[in-house]
Amino acid sequence: MAKKQYAVIGLGRFGSSVAQALSKLGFEVLAIDSNEHLVQEVSGIVTHAVTADSTDDDAMRALGIRNFDVVVVAIGQDIQASILTTLILKDLGVPYIIVKAQNELHGKVLSKIGADKIVFPERDMGLRVAHHLISPNILDFIELSDDYSIAELLATEGMIGKNLKQLDIRAKFGCNVMAIKDANGERMNISPKAEDTITPNDVLVIVGKNSDLAQLELHYSEGR
């Protein structure tokens, strides 16, 4: 199967880091920005880098943007340009469009005009940091929907040596342990069983309702 081809429009901190990461992973990336200086900065890293205004549909057509499997729109502050760009990409038939939204309202508009995925990097990172601050054992927190999330919980001292049946997270908090991995990410148990025992540096990947996860976080932040 041919490797997917990506285009990234907007080379601010977010867009350029997406473009660089994809390039490092070996994918073809077209990077676009209206600011020539930023285009030059990434030109040695990505496959192609061009200076263009993404709100100019002729320019987008000329770049063959519809031939890319995924286009990431990483224009933040100029909401009008972000929306117009998304509309143009949609009209040109780009199969999958991911757009960075500045706020909830921006996200709603993007969803109405057919963006396939909307990301809120600042909001999501803020949420993760807050959860980590409230409970340092929470290493990561990913929202799946308004009501459900995944939390990565570093095993507390009290958990070590106990198995999942003894911890009884499902009955106590209504959450499910989806996986157990070690903190370095080298070992991953993706179908943990009741008799699997927690060892030091294990990280429990737990899915649940936000309200249930909040109870669980509170419980384990108190080191019980």
Residues in contact with ligand ATP by the rule CB under 6 A: 9-15, 32-35, 38, 53-55, 74-78, 81
Nearest-angstrom CA–CA distance, 199 and 203? 9
Nearest-angstrom CA–CA distance, 132 and 153? 10
Instruction: Give me the least distance between CB of 216 and ligand ATP, in Å please.
Output: 32
Residue among 59 and 139 whose Cβ is closer to ligand ATP: 59
Residue 52: which of 75, 20, 70 has the closest Cα? 75
The residue type found at 98 is: I
Residue among 37 and 193 whose Cβ is closer to ligand ATP: 37
Token pair 């669980």: residue: 216
Nearest residue to ligand ATP on Cβ basis: 76
Instruction: Give me the least distance between CB of 17 and ligand ATP, in Å please.
Output: 8
CB of 11 closer than 8 Å to CB of 33: yes
- The phi and psi torsions of 193 (rounded to 5 degrees) equal -110, 165
- Structure-token pair, residue 177: 């342990």
Instruction: Give me the least distance between CB of 224 and ligand ATP, in Å please.
Output: 39
Instruction: Give me the least distance between CB of 53 and ligand ATP, in Å please.
Output: 5
Residue among 128 and 181 whose Cβ is closer to ligand ATP: 128
Residue among 53 and 196 whose Cβ is closer to ligand ATP: 53
Nearest-angstrom CA–CA distance, 101 and 135? 28
Instruction: Give me the least distance between CB of 121 and ligand ATP, in Å please.
Output: 8
Query: What's the gap between Cα 205 and its chain centre?
Result: 16
Instruction: Give me the least distance between CB of 113 and ligand ATP, in Å please.
Output: 16
Residue among 18 and 205 whose Cβ is closer to ligand ATP: 18
Strands (DSSP E) found in the chain: 5-9, 28-33, 48-51, 70-73, 96-100, 117-119, 138-143, 148-154, 176-182, 188-189, 202-209
Residue among 23 and 54 whose Cβ is closer to ligand ATP: 54
